[in-house]
Structure 1
Amino acid sequence: MSPYRQTPPPATAPKAQRGSKESSSVEVSSGDSQSSLSPGEVDQDIMKRAAARKLIERYFYQLVDGCGDSNCDNQYCASSGVVRNLTPDEAAAQAIQLYSKEARLCEVSPQKVPRINAISSQDSTAIESSPSGSSIANSTLSSECGPSGSDSTPSSQKNLDSSSITDLIILEKILPNISGPSDNNSSRTKPPTILTEESLAELCSTWESSPKLLVRAIGEVFSQPECLSRCFPAKRLQEHENASPVDNAEEKESIRAKEKDPDKDEDLVADPPFDLESCRRAFDHLKKVPSNVYSSALMTALTTLCDNIIVIRGKLDNIVNCFLIAFEVPNMGYGEFLETVLPSLCEAADHLSFEDQGKLVRKWATHCKDNLRNTLESLQQLITIKVMSTNYAREFCVQDDNKVTLATKFMKIVYYANLLAGVMEPNTLREEEISLPQQLDSLEEALDQISHFGSSKMAKQAQLDDPLGLVLNVNDLDSRRPFIPFEEFYNETLSDIIEMDHDFSCYRSRKFSFMKHSFILVPATKTLGLYFDNRIRMYSERHSSLMNALIGSAPPKPYLRLKVRRDHLIADTLIGLELVAMERVLDFKKQLVVEFEEEQGVDEGGVSKEFFQLIVEEIFNPDYGMFTYQSETNMTWFNPTSFETVAQFTLIGIVLGLAIYNNIILAVNFPMVVYRKLMGKKGSFEDLVDWNPVLFNGLKNLLEYTEDDVEDVYMQTFRICYQDVFGNNIFHELKENGDQIYVTQNNKQEFVDLYADFLLNKSVECQFKAFRRGFVMVMDESPLALLFRPEEVEQLVCGSKNFDFMELELSTEYDGGYTPESQIIKDFWSIVHNLSMKNKKKLLQFTTGSDRVPVGGLSRLKLIIARNGPNSDRLPTAHTCFNVLLLPEYETKEKLNDRLLKAINYAKGFGML
């Protein structure tokens, strides 16, 4: 049996997949029968179909436009006067009939002049053409598959579906091609079909009478990257398309001459400019059409688009336009679009090169700011729904879930676009890299060897681990104010379900890890990632020390031990740390163990907590002279006129690093600029807002002053005055001969920038560099910069400011016979909730060794209240290393209140029970 049936296939016959020429065989259905075509037969069928289309096309134009010969005697030609005015439907049907009976064709082909949008809806049942004499579309007949190839559905060479041909003719009349009309004699493939605002509006206006035209246009254009990436071109491009062929040729030659590449044989519009506003207006028309008309076809087309993007990655210059258009599609964040199309787009974006991802970031940041939040919310919803609907286990954890990981990777693109869309500072304010020697003969030698102190090894490593940030040359430290607050990128549902020990293992083995996408994790979860990294380094140093002891190369020193006296705390600490820095800097990576002389406490964490609290109280005391205290803001700042050596500031930096490394919270009140500088970003004008708000507002008023009499009103020169700790005035010139240069409307920005730079950077340069050197000695290999932004580092150092004791009550566990229903427990919490904030902090200090709230709130403390015998006159006691409160079962609430207050107000020191 011949594979070609003489009867046309039904209109609903399924179409073969694109690319069927490459398959080994193609199943063809026609009516009840099926047959299989070999690749050769498929090629032969395509050639026959192409020849048939060209002939039918010639008949069509001959019936509509004629051959142009006024003396023509062909009864099937419009030039003869015999053929009446035909609609496109009538002309298409008659062209098929003429082709079937091999009717006469004029030797001269009709000249086809491209016209766009030449049809309109005449009634509710048919789409009719413009008045007689208008030409049909600006392109030849194309296959239903678009530019990728012909429809592989077989048909008779001389019998085609007239309604299908008619729809194609009308559709191609509405949809322009990127390069104008095709040449029948040309061997080049047909240029891709595109959508414009006008063409989509016209398709939407006729959906009631011919919905399949809209569906077919969506299916053809939105499934092919070559088509979609060229849609909605800028006005200049559309004007170029409507120009004459001669003009286009001249323009091409002109542009090639300017590019000094006359042999270049590419279309002028290889990378057409994209008009976002035109795209949005076009989709506004689509919103007026019921979604059930086109949504299924649109979802299928976009899913196919993503598959094609994966196949052709790196081969289409303007591929990012596909993503710009796709994320403007109505209902992208809802229903089946969210569940099917969005994951496919995330997968397609993951196959883009980092250069293309960078292009998408910049275009989104520049042109699509108002759509960033919608995109972010859709991604968050996708991740949350997937996480909540899946039961993860060790065999299949969340890191193995492609939908979640791909959405997270795509969110990084949105994250960088959000940075660039906000207020950015120049990357010239970043510090230079610092390198640390591994072995030092003295602390002073260490300070000499560390030359330019700048962006730490941590920050550089974080950037190197993120190729997209490297391509963009963007770091979140450069962001002064993101377009969307950073907190909106947190996903609490995901953060709660992640097992950070496994995620840390993935991070170390260079698999997908949420630690490398830390913007999505809440600070409390990120703190666990840092904790695992620190603990593993401690165990590694402990193992190394024990191995060295076994081979006899060094005595065993598994811990970093500090033995101090309470009355000489600062001196003993600084001497002990200096000895470690001189002997072996890597000892700072060991677990800290503190011992107070003449006290029996064994340090399992609680002794270290009190040690850090006491040392911070003394070091940051203004009377000590290393730091100043600003009463207006309750902030601590570096003393620019300090008499202490830089070595002592280095040792204070070591103390801060050891506190973070050993997971201990400190009671320090630094302005945010300290943490920004600590992470590698110099201070600037806006950092003055929490450092000195009065000065900030004054300088801000100067910048906002618009009159020309700045010099007379402010009478300010480039010479400034500030005070030392003794109240003496110190003058400084911001530039040479600054006392002779007045601040004017033209130089006021320069004055403000120099003023802020001096106060925040230059005046304390020696002190802060030394301070940060010490910090990096401990944290140089830590993922701190990878995980935390400056404001999160502040939480890590100082803890949360939310003293919610209801959280503490709900998370507290009980032992020794106590339960939440025990009367003494009810009395205890009743007393606690009525305490003043000062006494609440003392209770925290008494039970945990610190009066600070950990990152994530008091629920993270895991307090344990244990029964310590029956009623007695003994005071409550505590094991601060394990957050255990030992509470005798007092007989009355009054007695409990009395004993508890005495315990928290007079507790000091450690002893053995």
Structure 2
Amino acid sequence: MKRTAARKLIEQYFYQLTEGCGNQNCKNINCASSGELKPMTPNEAAGHALKLFSQEAKLCERHPSKIARTNLPSKSNTQNENIGGICSIPSNDTIISQSSKDGTKSNNKYSSASVPSFLTEEALYDIIDECEANDSYSPLIRTIGEVFSSIENLSRSFAQEPFSPSSTPNVENPEQVSGLNKEELRHLEGEKDKDEDSCANISKNVILPLDIASLRRAYNALFKLKTSIFENSLINALVTLAGNLQMELPTRKDTDNHDDIVNVLLIVFEIPSLGLGDFIDTALPAICRASQWLPVEVQATLARMWAGPGRTNIRNILQNLQQLITTRTYGTPFHRDFFIQDENVITSATKLVKILYYGNMLAGVLESPSLRYTDEMSDSMDESFLAVKLKKNITPEDPLAKILGIHVLDCRKPYLPFNEFYNEPLSDLVEMDRDFANYKSELGIFSGKFSFMNYPFILTPATKTMGLYFDNRIRMYSERRISLLQAVSGHPSPSNPYLRLKVRRDNIIDDALVELEMISMENPNDLKKQLVVEFEGEQGIDEGGVSKEFFQLVIEEIFNPDYAMFTMQNETQTVWFNPTSFESSAQFTLIGIVLGLAIYNNVILAVNFPMVLYRKLMGRKGSFEDLLDWNPVLYSSLKQMLEYPDPNLEDVFMQTFRISYQDVFGTIINYDLVDKGHKIPVTQENKYEFVDLYADFLLNKSVEKQFRAFYKGFQMVVDESPLEQLFRPEEIELLICGSKNFDFDELEKSTEYDGGYSNESQIIKDFWSLVHAFSLEDKRKLLQFTTGSDRVPIGGLSRLKLVIAKNGPDSDRLPTAHTCFNVLLLPEYSSKDKLKDRLVKAINYSKGFGML
């Protein structure tokens, strides 16, 4: 604890013991106002104050820091002499009087003729006291208007007290202070006269850092009053302040000092009622509009401040900004000439949320940037037939992230969960086709268009999926246009506008591998065309449903234990690369291509990879913390080792730098993490090195060949898409595997009816009654039968848009489905029992495609 902070706290305890807080209903037994504390002499109070300081006892809120005054009656002067250096610091009257013309000091009264040019915690307490005593709040209203409307005045308010670091002794341990007498305490304060001289020599141009704790106590005292007293004055002052900021910021050079702007914004966003009433209607929008002019260096400073001293208020600031965005989203009449991207308050508030987003990451748990993959992942592929150097579309690095030196992949655990940054009303209303056009125009010849795709943290995964969908579809349509132009211009061999695969159902892996091999060798860009699959000997025309089954069958075969390409983690039921697999890299490349094609063609897959795989796909190496969902038992064992405090770790764990693992045949394989690792025991000194090397081997080195091939195949499809910019690893998993929430009530509400059916038809009521009673396995089969996939799309079952159409009167036919269009054709069966019999048979015995 700094010297001045310790002195102030001891002083607060002293006056709390001798004078009290002024609250007649005080319950604090260590406060004179409670009536439970017997009178003390000044020396007793000083000693007891030291004791309370060492115990970190409770301080009353009303007057936590009464200040000694030089012109008090003789009793007070006597007290000041007795407590010596503890309390003899400049009074608040001095601070207030600095702004008055005559320079005189008032005793306990606030002079109505003077308004302070800046505020301190103590000054605000005194103004409130004077207003309450006189039953007039004009001084408070004038002070708020004067201070909060001015950049200069507000930036100098609630500043930390200056101190001389060279003379500051180490008093971080309160127990060291509690045993000192008055003379020793005076010495601990470090020659008070020198402190005062150093304070006097500080230039008026220097903006001191903000004392956030003091600011919050001041706001707490202010907002105990009726807000109607000062609300209008504060709102008007903030609007004026915003106007001053809008005029000031564009004229400043990047090299100028912006500490005053940082202090101003920190003070403003600490206001407790900023998200309520007229504040959110008037003041907050004005501040947001002004903040869009902030230089990136100031944004970085704000992010660091919110990540440090201000972190406990991150959620309140976020909620205020989100509420402003939501209010404007619902309350603004958008039309074809005025889109949500054109609403200045929404866009400027989103830019502020971005600063908070980075601050939220900085306030969380960050890992080393050294764990990011470098360009070697896309520079070589020497063992695969797909030896094609990828021209990956590198997204320009965000300037704010660059200054802060962080990436979303570095954040192991944010201070607030990332999903709190989603704004669902905004996500539901934004037109992603327009937003995608703005996104592309920023990257092209146009500029100045706002796109939420550059602020993906605020969009829900379902909405971001639409942005990715537009990007993929535009590439597909572009290939069709090229093919058409070639045909029209008489090209001898116009290109095929589709990626066509013809496979045999009983030999699907080999057929798919051969065809994809040929395509990737001849023209890898063909992988970015729309996929069309044909099963040999079947009549189905692929409008999406056939492709879904193709993906499902490929996944089932690839993860078949007979192939031994992957191993199953028994504890988590996830699959991982087999480090001793005999399959060629081409097989793993095929899986990467399939995964990329699934994303590119908007198909959900039944895969169960651990989260570390998606982190690796996004460019982050696996580390120790990734073992938690990869192998929880191993993670727990290593965690116990790291937390073991005693020096006999070597004897207890009996572990060396040699590890062992099994291949697919059960053979034990030994591996030395370092040279001659079997001779190096794990000790307290090297246990962290052992854990890091162990995790690196399991998640990176042992499967480097397999993952490299897998990654290359994946990137051959998605290398030019904004996938990495839009999605975090956990969202990639959701994009590939779908949601785990099987809410069939959602599906029922969103289902449409055709051919004479409605939600009031008896057969429809019977249908949903049966479906809700199905087991989860049967529900999956129903989804597979009607949509071609048993997975829930990102955003939930409501996004399936299932259609149930009448397929004639009662008959013995089974229900049928058009999986390409999510249409269930249901005859009007005569009874519920017959409906159940036909429906169960249909979902259990259907396979393949035919013409109806």
Q: TM-score band (shorter)?
A: 0.7 to 0.9
Structure 1 partner of 2:32: none
Structure 1 partner of 2:155: 229
Which aligned pairs between 1:508-523 and structure 2 lie closer than 5 A?
Answer: 508-510=440-442, 511-523=449-461
Please say if residues 607 and 881 of structure 1, whose CA atoms lie closer than 8 Å, have aligned partners that are also in contact: yes
- SS, match of residue 703 in structure 2: helix
Structure 2 residue identity aligned to 1:567: D
Structure 2 partner of 1:792: 731
User: What do the CA deviations read for 1:610-659 (whole angstroms, capped 9, x no partner)?
Assistant: 00000000011221121111222111100111112222212211110000
Q: Indicate how the Cα distance of structure 1 residues 817 and 356 shifts in structure 2: closer, same or farther if over 3 A, else same.
A: same
Q: 1:278 aligns with which of 214, 230, 233?
A: 214
Q: 2:801 aligns with which of 841, 856, 862?
A: 862
Shift, 1:390, TM fit = 2.7
Structure 1 residue identity aligned to 2:288: C
Is 1:495 aligned to 2:427, yes or no? yes
Structure 1 partner of 2:436: 504
Q: Indicate how the Cα distance of structure 1 residues 244 and 366 shifts in structure 2: closer, same or farther if over 3 A, else same.
A: closer
Which aligned pairs between 1:388-467 and structure 2 lie closer than 5 A?
Answer: 388-433=330-375, 444=384, 446-447=386-387, 449=389, 457=392, 460-461=394-395, 464=397, 466-467=398-399
Please say if residues 355 and 471 of structure 1, whose CA atoms lie closer than 8 Å, have aligned partners that are also in contact: yes
Is 1:481 aligned to 2:413, yes or no? yes
Is 1:385 aligned to 2:327, yes or no? yes
Structure 2 residue identity aligned to 1:896: L
Q: Which has the larger radius of gyration?
A: 1
- SS, match of residue 560 in structure 1: strand
Is 1:751 aligned to 2:687, yes or no? no
Q: Indicate how the Cα distance of structure 1 residues 269 and 120 shifts in structure 2: closer, same or farther if over 3 A, else same.
A: farther
Structure 2 residue identity aligned to 1:887: L
CA distance, structure 2, for counterparts of residue 250 and residue 632 of structure 1: 66
Which aligned pairs between 1:120-519 and structure 2 lie closer than 5 A?
Answer: 139=98, 141=100, 171=114, 175=116, 193-208=117-132, 209=134, 211-236=137-162, 247=197, 267=203, 270-313=206-249, 314=252, 315-318=256-259, 319-433=261-375, 444=384, 446-447=386-387, 449=389, 457=392, 460-461=394-395, 464=397, 466-510=398-442, 511-519=449-457
Please say if residues 434 and 457 of structure 1, whose CA atoms lie closer than 8 Å, have aligned partners that are also in contact: no
**For structure 1, which segment, 273-282 or 481-490, has the greater mean C-alpha deviation from structure 2 after superposition?**
273-282
Please say if residues 807 and 828 of structure 2, whose CA atoms lie closer than 8 Å, have aligned partners that are also in contact: yes
Structure 2 partner of 1:189: none
Q: Indicate how the Cα distance of structure 1 residues 119 and 620 shifts in structure 2: closer, same or farther if over 3 A, else same.
A: farther
Please say if residues 207 and 289 of structure 1, whose CA atoms lie closer than 8 Å, have aligned partners that are also in contact: no
User: What do the CA deviations read for 1:96-148 (whole angstroms, capped 9, x no partner)?
Assistant: xxxxxxxxxxxxxxxxxxx9977899xxxxxxxxxxxx9896646569xxxxx
Shift, 1:518, TM fit = 1.5
Q: Indicate how the Cα distance of structure 1 residues 120 and 869 shifts in structure 2: closer, same or farther if over 3 A, else same.
A: farther
CA distance, structure 2, for counterparts of residue 579 and residue 366 of structure 1: 55
Structure 2 partner of 1:640: 579
Shift, 1:837, TM fit = 1.6
Structure 2 residue identity aligned to 1:366: G
Structure 2 residue identity aligned to 1:484: L
Structure 1 partner of 2:45: none
Structure 1 partner of 2:480: 542
CA distance, structure 2, for counterparts of residue 444 and residue 328 of structure 1: 57
CA distance, structure 2, for counterparts of residue 353 and residue 602 of structure 1: 56
CA distance, structure 1, for counterparts of residue 300 and residue 68 of structure 2: 36
Shift, 1:787, TM fit = 1.5
Q: Indicate how the Cα distance of structure 1 residues 835 and 285 shifts in structure 2: closer, same or farther if over 3 A, else same.
A: closer
CA distance, structure 1, for counterparts of residue 814 and residue 746 of structure 2: 25
User: What do the CA deviations read for 1:127-173 (whole angstroms, capped 9, x no partner)?
Assistant: xxxxxxx9896646569xxxxxxxxxxxxxxxxxxxxxx9878636x
CA distance, structure 2, for counterparts of residue 643 and residue 873 of structure 1: 51
Please say if residues 524 and 855 of structure 1, whose CA atoms lie closer than 8 Å, have aligned partners that are also in contact: yes
- SS, match of residue 562 in structure 2: helix
- SS, match of residue 131 in structure 2: coil
CA distance, structure 2, for counterparts of residue 816 and residue 346 of structure 1: 52
- SS, match of residue 805 in structure 2: strand
Please say if residues 433 and 457 of structure 1, whose CA atoms lie closer than 8 Å, have aligned partners that are also in contact: no
CA distance, structure 1, for counterparts of residue 374 and residue 94 of structure 2: 67
CA distance, structure 2, for counterparts of residue 658 and residue 737 of structure 1: 45
Please say if residues 147 and 153 of structure 2, whose CA atoms lie closer than 8 Å, have aligned partners that are also in contact: yes
Q: Matched residue pairs, number?
A: 722
Q: Indicate how the Cα distance of structure 1 residues 487 and 808 shifts in structure 2: closer, same or farther if over 3 A, else same.
A: same
Structure 2 partner of 1:824: 763
Shift, 1:688, TM fit = 0.9
Structure 1 residue identity aligned to 2:148: F
CA distance, structure 2, for counterparts of residue 395 and residue 722 of structure 1: 64
Q: Indicate how the Cα distance of structure 1 residues 573 and 119 shifts in structure 2: closer, same or farther if over 3 A, else same.
A: farther
Please say if residues 237 and 272 of structure 1, whose CA atoms lie closer than 8 Å, have aligned partners that are also in contact: no
Shift, 1:546, TM fit = 2.5
Unaligned runs of 5+ in 2: 1-66, 74-92, 103-108, 165-188, 443-448
User: What do the CA deviations read for 1:290-343 (whole angstroms, capped 9, x no partner)?
Assistant: 323322222112221122122222354202111111122232222111221211
CA distance, structure 1, for counterparts of residue 595 and residue 678 of structure 2: 40
Structure 1 partner of 2:600: 661
- SS, match of residue 505 in structure 1: helix
Structure 2 partner of 1:525: 463
Structure 1 residue identity aligned to 2:427: S
Please say if residues 137 and 169 of structure 1, whose CA atoms lie closer than 8 Å, have aligned partners that are also in contact: no
CA distance, structure 2, for counterparts of residue 407 and residue 539 of structure 1: 35
Shift, 1:457, TM fit = 4.4
Q: Indicate how the Cα distance of structure 1 residues 512 and 140 shifts in structure 2: closer, same or farther if over 3 A, else same.
A: closer
**Alignment root-mean-square deviation, CA:** 2.9
Shift, 1:553, TM fit = 6.2
Q: Indicate how the Cα distance of structure 1 residues 415 and 341 shifts in structure 2: closer, same or farther if over 3 A, else same.
A: same
Structure 2 partner of 1:877: 816
CA distance, structure 1, for counterparts of residue 161 and residue 342 of structure 2: 46
Please say if residues 629 and 636 of structure 1, whose CA atoms lie closer than 8 Å, have aligned partners that are also in contact: yes
CA distance, structure 2, for counterparts of residue 500 and residue 720 of structure 1: 51
Q: When the two structures are superposed, what TM-score results if normalisation uses the length of structure 2?
A: 0.80
Q: Indicate how the Cα distance of structure 1 residues 221 and 243 shifts in structure 2: closer, same or farther if over 3 A, else same.
A: farther
Q: When the two structures are superposed, what TM-score results if normalisation uses the length of structure 1?
A: 0.75
Please say if residues 750 and 801 of structure 2, whose CA atoms lie closer than 8 Å, have aligned partners that are also in contact: yes
Shift, 1:896, TM fit = 1.6
CA distance, structure 1, for counterparts of residue 339 and residue 388 of structure 2: 49
- SS, match of residue 218 in structure 2: helix
CA distance, structure 2, for counterparts of residue 243 and residue 784 of structure 1: 62
Please say if residues 377 and 708 of structure 2, whose CA atoms lie closer than 8 Å, have aligned partners that are also in contact: no
CA distance, structure 2, for counterparts of residue 382 and residue 559 of structure 1: 46
CA distance, structure 2, for counterparts of residue 540 and residue 630 of structure 1: 43
Structure 2 partner of 1:650: 589
- SS, match of residue 878 in structure 1: strand
CA distance, structure 1, for counterparts of residue 392 and residue 800 of structure 2: 32
Q: Indicate how the Cα distance of structure 1 residues 203 and 906 shifts in structure 2: closer, same or farther if over 3 A, else same.
A: same
Please say if residues 685 and 752 of structure 1, whose CA atoms lie closer than 8 Å, have aligned partners that are also in contact: yes
Please say if residues 118 and 136 of structure 1, whose CA atoms lie closer than 8 Å, have aligned partners that are also in contact: no
Please say if residues 869 and 889 of structure 1, whose CA atoms lie closer than 8 Å, have aligned partners that are also in contact: yes
Structure 2 residue identity aligned to 1:520: I
Unaligned runs of 5+ in 1: 1-114, 122-133, 144-165, 176-192, 253-266, 451-455
- SS, match of residue 415 in structure 1: helix
Is 1:604 aligned to 2:530, yes or no? no
Structure 1 partner of 2:18: none
Shift, 1:213, TM fit = 2.4
Please say if residues 196 and 233 of structure 1, whose CA atoms lie closer than 8 Å, have aligned partners that are also in contact: yes
Structure 2 residue identity aligned to 1:780: D
Structure 2 partner of 1:37: none
- SS, match of residue 636 in structure 1: strand
User: What do the CA deviations read for 1:38-70 (whole angstroms, capped 9, x no partner)?
Assistant: xxxxxxxxxxxxxxxxxxxxxxxxxxxxxxxxx
